Amino acid sequence: MSESVNLPALGESVTEGTVTRWLKKVGDRVEVDEPLLEVSTDKVDTEIPSPVAGVIEAILVAEDETVEVGTALVTIGDGSGGGDAAPEAPAPEAAPAPEAAPAPEAAPAPEAAPAPEAAPAAPEPEAPAAPAETTPAPAPEAAPAPEPTPAPEAAPAPAAEPAPAAAPAPQAAPEPEQAAPAAAPVAAPSAEAFAGYVTPLVRKLANEQGVDLSTVSGTGVGGRIRKQDVLAATAPAAPAAPAAAPAAVALETSELRGTTVPMSRLRKVIAERAVISMQSSAQLTSVVEVDVTAVAQYRNKVKDAFQEKTGVKLSFLPFFALAAAEALRAYPIINATIDGDSIVYPPHENISIAVDTERGLLTPVVRDAGDLDLAGLATQIADLAERTRDNKLKPDELAGGTFTLTNTGSRGALFDTPIVFLPQSAILGTGIVTKKPVVISDAGGDAIAIRSMVYLALSYDHRIVDGADAARFLTAVKNRLENGDFAPNLGI
């Protein structure tokens, strides 16, 4: 029997998907929940696991082909390998009764495939004690194999000697031969699985770290190599990183130089949405500079205890998200959307977090961010970012955002002018936190001090958000961060 695997529903608003890469080919055996192929949709790239175990009989959709949800992608059969093995076992049991006739008939029946299995058939003498008459019949079949030696040994000895001689013969000779064919199918798929199971993200990381993937043992499902495996393989080289830091200035030439490649489905969607957003809305950007020295000092004070209790590192991003969520409650026009001639003010603050991946920019959503503390925000941001980069994000986790936060400072940018993606009305970009001399005022007058500073850039849709609204929102975020009183919101 065979069963078809159809393209599943990958989200409420997802109606079709594009097959980007097949991880298996016709004839390969797959287990339940083992990835079959990679599919790209308007919202996310994901892997489709096999719902059944068996052998792939036919691939129905080619790579780069777009099909609707419910379309049959591949047919999987129950596999003939297991069915052939079952008849082979009863065959020796039937041999003692009609030895002369069935024995030769059993050999020609599967002559091409089970030819090497004729050697394991030698254990037949083990059950019926190998009468002298049956020995000549299997002897010609076993002639290609090293079986002629047991035959002479059985001849000179009467009946007691063949018994001990027959015992070591099937145990020493046939069993290793059985183990060899059994190990061969296992070893071959593992090599193929290695080639098909390495995601582009892992392959890129391995190239950057100088790790030979053939030497890495995968800890994922079915021996799949994960990002953690590559990082673990580079652990011994970690101490040499400081010494190798100056060499990082020499940039490697990309393999893409001088090539032409088609745009991925996700890149096409991002491009279309960016153009539509720019053409359909009136966008501009306001920027403020914020002194986050108090945040930096508080973060350094609690980061070790925070990581110990939550399991995630405390970066500046959760502080920015918390300050933004509080300001959105006070100035909901920044969190609003346009519906025809109406302005819709959502009853929640669902903050989309921009995550840079090899496939493109994705924005998973932290829901009800206004109700979370620093621990809740940090945990959700870390979880969403990791699953986004590992391509394990659910499509619905990319929908429903009302405001976006993008941390361009993580790549070293001072600030940028991010694009607002409809239907949202604003996006906040956070630059890199740097120390620099600034003028501060205290009771004794003005002074120059080294402070931790950051630029915050708010892009917004001028159709409903005015410059004064943007300034009030940015000022609220600035004051909250410069105040630095986050102890009540730590959450540990």
**Residue in this structure with the two tokens 């607002």, named with its chain if needed:** 420
Q: What pLDDT does 183 receive?
A: 40
Run of H or E including 242: helix 241-244
Whole-angstrom distance, CA of residue 361 vs CA of residue 74: 30
Q: Other C-beta atoms within 10 Å of 452: how many? A: 19
Q: Which of 427, 487, 426, 477 has its CA nearest to residue 454? A: 477
Active site residue 462: yes
Whole-angstrom distance, CA of residue 409 vs CA of residue 283: 21
Q: Which residues of 261-295 are buried (b: 16+ CB within 10 A; e: fewer)?
A: eeebbbeebbeeeeeebeeebebebbbbebbbbbb
> Confidence class of residue 221 from pLDDT cuts 50, 70 and 90?
low
Query: Identity (one letter) of the amino acid at 366?
Result: V
In the chain, % of residues over pLDDT 70: 70
Better pLDDT: 247 or 409: 409
> Which tokens sit at 461?
């849709």
Q: 376: helix, coil or strand?
A: helix
Q: Which of 371, 462, 469, 485 is catalytic?
A: 462
Run of H or E including 44: none
Average pLDDT over residues 247-260: 81
Backbone torsions φ then ψ of 337, nearest 5 degrees? -130, 160
- Per-residue pLDDT at 227 exceeds 90: no
Q: 72: helix, coil or strand?
A: strand
Q: Which of 371, 383, 466, 485 is catalytic?
A: 466
> Confidence class of residue 197 from pLDDT cuts 50, 70 and 90?
low
> Confidence class of residue 84 from pLDDT cuts 50, 70 and 90?
very low
467-483 vs 317-330: helix axis angle to the nearest 10? Answer: 130
Domains and CATH numbers, the chain: 2-81 (2.40.50.100), 187-245 (4.10.320.10), 265-489 (3.30.559.10)
Residue 29 falls in which region: left (phi positive, over 0), alpha (psi -120 to 50) or beta: beta
